[in-house]
Amino acid sequence: MIALIGERGGEVKPFVEDCLAPACQVGGGGCKRANEPAAHARRAAQTALAIADSYRQRGRHVLSWPIALTRLAGGAAAISIANGEPPSSRSFHAVVLQLLANYVECMGNSDHGSITGILTVLVDRRRLRRPITDAVRSFVDATSSSTARSRRRVHFPAISIGPERERVLQDVADGPHQSRHASSRDSRHYAQAEDLIRIAPM
């Protein structure tokens, strides 16, 4: 289940036809264009989650991919501002953070099926400690980061080896996978000191 929230209208059709159709069969999709009212962002995300939940109730294992939670939060914040609600957490509204918490908690396992969420947050690399970023990190089971530097180096997938968090790794991964994860720490240390290693005399 894919929800495109706040995307440009001209990007939706190429994304679905060129990127998704050749690789997979999508059970459902939703789109809120960038030029539509802020209330549509929250409605699009919640509708997509409701559709995913309907599949879960039928015994399916659903992969939910809302793109992106940042735009969902921005739409909810715009509604709060219009209603005259004062901000509380670093210029953000408490109702927005509660909306994100409720959205994430709706995913997971049930007696019938499951919903696995791939949640994306758009953030300026120079300002990683933002209310939305911190909130989503506290809600989810694992995190990873994709940076422009990895993409410029043609690293695929463009995921940086760094301060990821895996709360449930010990419960869901087998022994060989955990061993490979432990060995990746050397790569993390190299990434942190890469610039010094490159300029150091041989």
> Which pairing describes strands 29-33 and 2-7: parallel, antiparallel, or unpaired?
parallel
Over residues 148-176, the pLDDT tens digits come to 777 777 767 667 655 566 677 777 778 78
Over residues 90-135, the pLDDT tens digits come to 667 778 888 888 888 888 888 889 998 888 888 766 665 677 888 8
The CATH number of domain 2-140, selected from 3.30.360.10, 3.40.50.300, 2.60.120.620, 3.90.870.10? 3.40.50.300
Name the DSSP letter for residue 10: H
pLDDT band at 34 (very low <50, low <70, confident <90, very high): low
Range(s) within the chain of domains with CATH label 3.40.50.300: 2-140
pLDDT at site 56: 92
In 23-132, DSSP assigns E strands to 29-33, 61-67, 108-109, 114-117
pLDDT, mean of residues 66-86: 81
Token readout for 29 is 């999709």
